[in-house]
Structure 1
Amino acid sequence: MSATPFAFDATGITGSNDVDRYAAVRTSQGSRQVYTLQLSLQEIPRVLPVPDPKYPTTGNRKVNPDHAQKFGAYIRGQTEWVAPPLLVRDNGSIRFEEQIELPDGSNIGQLLVPRNSRHILKIIDGQHRILGIDHAVKILDEQLASWQDALARGDSGDPEELRVQIADAEKVRARFSTEHLAVQIYVESRPQAYEQMFFDVADNALGITQAVKVRFDSRKVVNRSIPEVLKHALLKDRIDMEQDRVTGPNPNILGAKHVGDIIRAANLGVVGRVTERREEQLDDSTLIENTNVFLDCLVASFPELVELIEERITAKDLRGSSLLGSITMLRVLAGAFHDIWSQQGTAEEDVIEFFSKLSPHMSVPVKKGSIWMTTTDFEENSSGPSARRQNLKNLSDTLVSWYEEGLPTDAAHDRR
């Protein structure tokens, strides 16, 4: 039997496609091209990268899952939700087909986004919103499937109640398919530049910690020095990159902000400031070298720091037993190091010899009769010196005088 001939209409069939097309506007912002488009909530987790809370994205901060889930619950529960645009960057893989040129220099056209865009686009601002939307979409799909299965089986719950739940969930799903969020895609491929973009966006918003600022504000010479200094054995894997306060059970000895303070003190003195002129004059490599010498001197002088490096004690143990667990004390030692190191003819061995003389006096709390109580910078039973500017300067100067003239003895203080 011969086959019956028929006409096959292939209109609309595209086959496999490498790109998705979106209506978009191309504009300029600074020296960069920016594409603005609208994505439905349903599309966002498919097109944009979804951050993993366990692994911070390069050039961005760590994600807080609870905060993200709260945003997901917000857009699901509020029909009048509002959110600013999501900002992402592209390294040049996206193409734009211009159709209309407007008098202001902007263009309307089609944006060709690769299907694997989740692996190409990187988030500048909006991590928590994207993760929250992804969570809301997944939870909605799971709940809807569960309720539909239960209704079909007829052996779980009140059928009428299940129908109401399904109807409500389908309304939300319809909303997620028709409600949109603006996305702005910046064309930028330079790693240092996109870290600066994150900082610039965050710095103009409320809530960024100093620890995060120093990580991403690459315009400042001290901040640029931090990544190399963090490779030192004393600091490696012991720095809190998110929080400014490092206390109690925190497994870190310093925050990133404090590392910047120590770099500054070791190179400019305990209350030294980086003025605009100094910013131009200072060299990253010199800051790093001097700070590493200071850290080497600390490790060579104080046995408890060796124990910390060898993981025989924790950061919490150090804070509970030694002045070296005091961020303020480390800053003072760095300032004294700067003043001593700046003296002509000073060798690393000279600093180590002096710091080693301090080693027997580092126990906390500071008791009456301690050499530290000969200064005006400690309270009895304290675990560190006062952090006021005048106390920082006074204690640093005192250490320099002890280096030059010798330490006061406990016995001499007891006779007072």
Structure 2
Amino acid sequence: MDIQVQPSTFTPSAYQTDQQFFATKYQQGTRSVYGLASTPGELVGLVPRPDPAVPTEGNRRINASHAEAFARYFIENESWVIPGIILRAVNMFHFEPMQEIPSAAFGVMSYPKRRQGDIHILDGQHRILGFFMALDKLDADIEKARSYKATVRRTMPDDKRAELDAQKEIDRLERARDRFYNQRVAVEIQVTDDIDEAKQMFFDIAENALGITASTRARFDSRKIVNRALPMVLEHPLLLNRVDLDKDRVQKNSPFWIPASKVVEIIRTMRKGFEGRVSRKDNEAWKGEEAAIARETNEFFDLLVKTMPPVNALLHSQITAGQMRDTMLLGGQTFIRILAGVYYELRKDRKWSTKQVEEFFAALGPHASGRAHANSIWKRHAPDHLFNLNGVGPSGRRADSVELMNLITDWAITRAPFVYSAPEPAPVAEEDPDEGIDFAPSHSTKQLELELERENAEVAQESKDRLNAK
């Protein structure tokens, strides 16, 4: 087919104000969707480069090593394969249908280039970052390979084999880079103006694919009211930059104090108690109460800051979360949630005043600011199985956590005198009077060897005498 171009109407693509793609338009759920077949080169031009240091709104934090692994995979595998990429954008598209069927249409999708920043990643950010990394590496490696070939040609003009090997490496790298521009990836653009809907979409995609951590689920599953209250609780000064938003357990060297999943459990505890569950009926009944639920939870964190000196020190960056984890009960996420259960029992169930609760927590604070050593109230007045000796946290078994929460609540109700007394110091290890004494001094084995030789000789002589007697 001949295409006649009129010079007066022809505009080079770089000067056009709209970006155009062949696309299929269809409905998915309540949204319009545009399906494209994009080259990786086109894809990296569609969205900004993902930054592992800056989590994207509506997505989880990026693992840079995972993206690097994908970049290596793409470069090293000519038969590479990946699932489709899903993007999201506001309703800014124009569509000219060319062929239609009852449930879809094929045509030309276009949008203003100035709106490029309105296209975001919904699913596939590690693959997209991997494409960026792969292209960077290929460009750099090709430049090095060409420079090496020039060096070989200049310094070893007679070594045709070396020059041929250098060219083979250039050809290999260029074939890999060509895949950026002559092979394609399935790309969906979901049209939505609502960031909360986008978060829910991300959750649904991840949950139905394989499942995600409870912390990530809490951030994106907006169906549950405790999850909708989470962003407001995370604004509490104590929690700013101290909550792991992606993992469910805080690792030893982590800068975080508590994972988002445990913050959600504390939010739930403020309404339903330590063992309570928020039902579908609760979600409906509490609709619109997100701010009130967040306020109740923030009052608990305010109490910790006011009554527990190490928590106050954490707030003012005078101690790190890691230092607390290594030295005291207050550094552990399980213990903090148990305290939330105690707070609920006293405030909501026993109807204690704020002042009464503050008085008890202030008395308990010094005992929670160290380990469960032999002289601590945790080893002297609690069942032995709840704490390991010198441990910095209670048993992680759920039944044990419930038992400890009820025990601390009883201490508050009965006004246990040992809680209001100063903590006893940890016992000092007794000095071993025999330490340093060598009970097995070095000695020569020569005498032992002589005795063994003599015994062997005697046995041999006895055998010889018996033989002669016969």
Q: Tell whether the structures are fold-level matches, with TM greater than 0.5.
A: yes
Question: Structure 2 unaligned runs (5+)?
Answer: 157-161, 425-470
Aligned residue for 1:130, secondary structure, equals: helix
Kept in 2, the 8 Å contact 1:25–1:37? The answer is yes
What is aligned with 1:99? 98
Q: For the structure 1 residues 50 and 28, does the alpha-carbon distance in structure 2 shift closer, same or farther, using more than 3 Å as the test? A: same
- Number of equivalenced pairs: 405
Distance, in Å, in 2 between the alignment partners of 1:34 and 1:9 is 34
What is aligned with 2:403? 394
Cα distance, 1:40 vs. partner?
A: 1.2
What is aligned with 1:403? 412
Aligned residue for 1:33, secondary structure, equals: strand
Distance, in Å, in 1 between the alignment partners of 2:258 and 2:285 is 27
Distance, in Å, in 1 between the alignment partners of 2:84 and 2:29 is 18
188-197 or 280-289: bigger deviation: 280-289
Aligned residue for 2:154, secondary structure, equals: coil
Kept in 1, the 8 Å contact 2:86–2:121? The answer is yes
Q: TM-score, normalised by structure 1?
A: 0.91
Distance, in Å, in 2 between the alignment partners of 1:321 and 1:228 is 30
Amino acid at match of 2:77: Q
Kept in 2, the 8 Å contact 1:364–1:382? The answer is no
Q: For the structure 1 residues 266 and 156, does the alpha-carbon distance in structure 2 shift closer, same or farther, using more than 3 Å as the test? A: farther
Distance, in Å, in 2 between the alignment partners of 1:75 and 1:135 is 10
Amino acid at match of 1:237: N
Kept in 2, the 8 Å contact 1:270–1:392? The answer is no
Cα distance, 1:343 vs. partner?
A: 4.3
Question: Structure 1 unaligned runs (5+)?
Answer: 1-7
Aligned residue for 1:262, secondary structure, equals: helix
Amino acid at match of 2:133: H
Aligned residue for 1:124, secondary structure, equals: strand
Distance, in Å, in 1 between the alignment partners of 2:387 and 2:407 is 13
Cα distance, 1:247 vs. partner?
A: 3.2
Aligned-pair identity (%): 34
After superposition, the C-alpha distances for 1:128-173 in whole angstroms (9 at most, x for unaligned) are 1111112212222232233334445633773222211222223223
Q: 1:339 aligns with which of 340, 345, 348?
A: 345
Cα distance, 1:60 vs. partner?
A: 0.8
Distance, in Å, in 2 between the alignment partners of 1:150 and 1:249 is 43
Q: For the structure 1 residues 131 and 262, does the alpha-carbon distance in structure 2 shift closer, same or farther, using more than 3 Å as the test? A: same
Distance, in Å, in 2 between the alignment partners of 1:263 and 1:155 is 71
1:124 matches 2:122 = yes
1:195 matches 2:204 = no
| Pair member with larger Rg | 2
Higher relative contact order structure (alpha carbons within 8 Å, sequence separation ≥ 6): 1
Distance, in Å, in 2 between the alignment partners of 1:45 and 1:198 is 20
What is aligned with 2:330? 324
Q: For the structure 1 residues 344 and 381, does the alpha-carbon distance in structure 2 shift closer, same or farther, using more than 3 Å as the test? A: closer
Cα distance, 1:401 vs. partner?
A: 1.8
Aligned residue for 2:241, secondary structure, equals: coil
Kept in 2, the 8 Å contact 1:86–1:181? The answer is yes
Cα distance, 1:97 vs. partner?
A: 1.0
Distance, in Å, in 1 between the alignment partners of 2:240 and 2:343 is 21
Kept in 1, the 8 Å contact 2:34–2:189? The answer is yes
Kept in 2, the 8 Å contact 1:268–1:335? The answer is no
Cα distance, 1:307 vs. partner?
A: 1.2
Kept in 2, the 8 Å contact 1:271–1:392? The answer is no
Q: 1:244 aligns with which of 238, 248, 251?
A: 248
What is aligned with 1:26? 25
Q: For the structure 1 residues 139 and 320, does the alpha-carbon distance in structure 2 shift closer, same or farther, using more than 3 Å as the test? A: closer
159-168 or 216-225: bigger deviation: 159-168
What is aligned with 1:178? 182
Kept in 1, the 8 Å contact 2:232–2:291? The answer is no
Aligned residue for 1:204, secondary structure, equals: helix
Q: For the structure 1 residues 156 and 45, does the alpha-carbon distance in structure 2 shift closer, same or farther, using more than 3 Å as the test? A: farther
318-327 or 114-123: bigger deviation: 114-123
1:167 matches 2:171 = yes
After superposition, the C-alpha distances for 1:34-77 in whole angstroms (9 at most, x for unaligned) are 10010112222112332112212111111122211221221222
Distance, in Å, in 2 between the alignment partners of 1:144 and 1:320 is 49
Q: For the structure 1 residues 137 and 114, does the alpha-carbon distance in structure 2 shift closer, same or farther, using more than 3 Å as the test? A: farther
Distance, in Å, in 1 between the alignment partners of 2:6 and 2:237 is 70
Amino acid at match of 2:305: V
Distance, in Å, in 2 between the alignment partners of 1:205 and 1:222 is 24
Aligned residue for 2:69, secondary structure, equals: helix
1:220 matches 2:219 = no
Aligned-residue CA RMSD in angstroms?
A: 2.3
Kept in 1, the 8 Å contact 2:78–2:176? The answer is no
Q: For the structure 1 residues 378 and 143, does the alpha-carbon distance in structure 2 shift closer, same or farther, using more than 3 Å as the test? A: closer
After superposition, the C-alpha distances for 1:302-328 in whole angstroms (9 at most, x for unaligned) are 111111111111111212232111211
1:301 matches 2:298 = no
After superposition, the C-alpha distances for 1:155-194 in whole angstroms (9 at most, x for unaligned) are 3773222211222223223332211001000000111111
What is aligned with 1:54? 53
Distance, in Å, in 2 between the alignment partners of 1:344 and 1:150 is 79
What is aligned with 2:265? 261
Cα distance, 1:381 vs. partner?
A: 2.2
Kept in 2, the 8 Å contact 1:150–1:156? The answer is no
Amino acid at match of 1:148: R
What is aligned with 1:234? 238
What is aligned with 1:5? none
